[in-house]
A and B are shown apart, each in its own frame.
Chain A
């Protein structure tokens, strides 16, 4: 196979993922052309700080959607967990980690509650979480006594607003950030290389060497450029580390673990999964517990970012998270979707919001644009899938 045919084959096989990546790059390019500030160090850092919680929610949501369920309550859970954390840290004067811990425990309990109704009583997730959306919003009001609680104080505030920098010094840019990113890139390259070697040892076809190297070089260049941008501003945001760990961890869980496989099996054909020995109820229970946990993480990040817990926090977050999954190629009927796709879908939403704010587009126009983007992205995806199916 020559290099061009090989490249075409790679793109065709991954059209579902690559299509959305192309869309993402195009959107970034449009905003970069419209406003030179868009790709500035300050703004890139801002995007990271501002939208991480949506991406965290999208990771949990994509697993729920792959299993053929939906979770409408995550916005309320973000508010509730933030509120609990505020009561612990601000009202009771306990340390920041106690607040985080309390939030996570509440998230797990919420998840177990919803998982119980979905998995063991057999109520559709849509209904259970619609009820949950009201329930946990109300509980937030109760916990907060209907008023905002703030401020959290320095260590808690730093979770979402802090940076790691200065450890190795630097001249106008932060060396530590560059080193961390470089380690990441090398790790990625090594993992790719080992995967390739392992495939070869199993006599599977792999992309040609020049293409493989070109792919690594492009990824490394983009990542290091991004790292340099961050380094010239304030360094490595703490939330980016949280997000990276979650993304890598959940990608592995969904793609490589038995549990992840079972999630896809349940979403693809519940009956067949059951008759193959998959414990469908357990799977449904644990994906909701997991969603509760991730919603709590998002709750901590969001309350930290706002430096306050507000009764109305997290409103409509569920829709952003769900939109991120569908833009990222998840299927409404379950069984299809990837963590990576949901992350890119979330980034598309984030970049559009940020880009429009930067250009001073009025807040009444912003939801219109986001709605259209959701529609067009999914239409684009369906078009690509049909083409891919025809090429097969």
Chain B
């Protein structure tokens, strides 16, 4: 087997930061090669060097592609040689059709110089068949789900005669079925001789699909693991060890729970869809959380997890909401977000970029944004106090940034998530609802997020964790509720919960009867 790509001692410096410090990467022709590393380790920078986003001359080191030294000056150069990168944030135009997107920038012209639409659509259909996408080529992209959009990106890559396909976190936004389908497709493409590099945080996925895995830490290559040689099970630990540079004996920090009085109770909570009349998104949901307790809400995508949380948090989702909220035993009204915050309820969103942060502002303003009233007793903000507060959270939550005036949009996912948590911690919540708190962030940062949650409950607060990662819920919760099709289908103390048992409850359909309630207290 020959080598298709060799990157030798790549060094890339930004003013003040050495992002890559001698990375080596060998990719064998026809393999699926995974790259692992914590956020900020340099994976994306490396791929930008490879694809010509950082042109030749702006980095040190050598790239040998297909037996020749490659000196790409732009993405166009690398694409011409068959290197295509698919970014985590998909680059599709929502209102254009599938076919138009596939050939965007590479339009199929007829003899007149105008676009030959028949050829475009036929070609598109052929490419779509190759990626297993069964849709009409003229369908606008925004009518398709993320999973299918991902396939369109791959079809687009195929249209460019791709030989080395780079995927940055391809399954981060996909559900299990779509992820499985995508991985199958990669195997299939491998059979056709296409080499893939996949960047992912999902270790199960890597173990399943990769032939070899290169681990990067702090801008240097740690090791390249041949996944067939490494014993299964042990390989994930080995990758983690390489990524964080230490043994991560426990993925979840220890905690002894001291459960106190009930802090929040939700009763008969019913929420209707904001635009589709008559559609119940949440149906008669009841749950509670007590002081010092971490309660999990497990549910598949579309079960109504986020909708449940947001409707409780100042009715920021849905309409015709009915049901009762009790805080410390007393019934409360939280009709707006401001009222919810006044009742010391906080909600950290699953989509921090769209709903959580002002990405163009600095850490300081983001941290203070929900609890600004505390800094401005008479309507005028004390900006020195504001900086002090931000600095305090930066050090206590270990936000990695030069200073609190750094723009939030430039931070890594884990650090952005810490800013979101800082913002809500500063509002002094009694109940913190965190929605997918560790989505898209690396192992080390995950551990830190769990520690923050533990600190909160140790201080006698209550935390509700919404997550689709069952090991995470089992690792950090005291109690887990399952949500399926808008109904709470079960409640289990963590000691009695297993992934299988939870999955069973999470897939209970609307017409199936609920199991007899398994009581905890």
Contacts and interface: CB of A to CB of B under 8 A. Distances in A.
B405 to A, nearest CB: 8
B233 interface: no
B202 to A, nearest CB: 27
A258 B372 contact: yes
A279 B338 contact: yes
Contacts of A201: 384
B257 interface: no
B379 A257 contact: yes
A256 B365 CA distance: 12
Interface string B279-321: 0000000000000000000000000000000000110100000
A272 B357 contact: yes
Interface stretch (B34-42, B347-355, B449-457): B347-355
Nearest to B383: A256
Interface in A168-201: 198-199, 201
Contacts of B361: 264-265, 268, 335
Contact of A275 (B349, B380, B387): B349
Nearest to B406: A392
B423 interface: yes
A368 interface: no
Interface string B357-381: 1111100010011101100100111
A291 interface: no
Contacts of B376: 257-258
Contacts of B314: 277
Contact of B15 (A204, A272, A391): A391
A290 to B, nearest CB: 15
Interface in A236-272: 252, 256-259, 261, 264-265, 268-269, 271-272
B338 A269 contact: no
Given A261-B381, A264-B361, A264-B365, A275 B372 contact: no
B372 A261 contact: yes
Contact of B379 (A258, A277, A279): A258
Binding site secondary structure of chain A: helix
A278 B406 CA distance: 23
A86 interface: no
Contacts of B355: 271-272, 275
Q: Which of B313, B354, B423 has the most A CB atoms < 10 Å from its CB?
A: B354
Interface string B425-467: 0000000000000000000000000000000000000000000
A268 B365 CA distance: 11
A365 interface: no
B272 to A, nearest CB: 20
A273 interface: yes
Contacts of A252: 380
Contacts of A272: 354-358, 369
A271 B310 CA distance: 13
B337 interface: yes
A62 to B, nearest CB: 16
A276 B423 CA distance: 9
Nearest to A266: B358
Contact of B359 (A256, A268, A275, A276): A268
A276 B360 contact: no
Contact of B316 (A256, A257, A275, A391): A275
A256 B337 contact: no
A259 B349 contact: no
A284 B427 CA distance: 24
Interface of A: 198-199, 201-202, 204, 252, 256-259, 261, 264-265, 268-269, 271-279, 331, 335-336, 390-392
18 contacts: A257-B381, A258-B373, A258-B380, A264-B361, A265-B358, A268-B358, A268-B359, A268-B360, A271-B355, A272-B354, A272-B355, A272-B356, A275-B356, A277-B338, A277-B340, A278-B369, A331-B360, A335-B360
Q: Which 7 A-B pairs have the closest CB atoms?
A: A268-B358, A276-B370, A277-B338, A202-B384, A277-B337, A269-B358, A276-B369
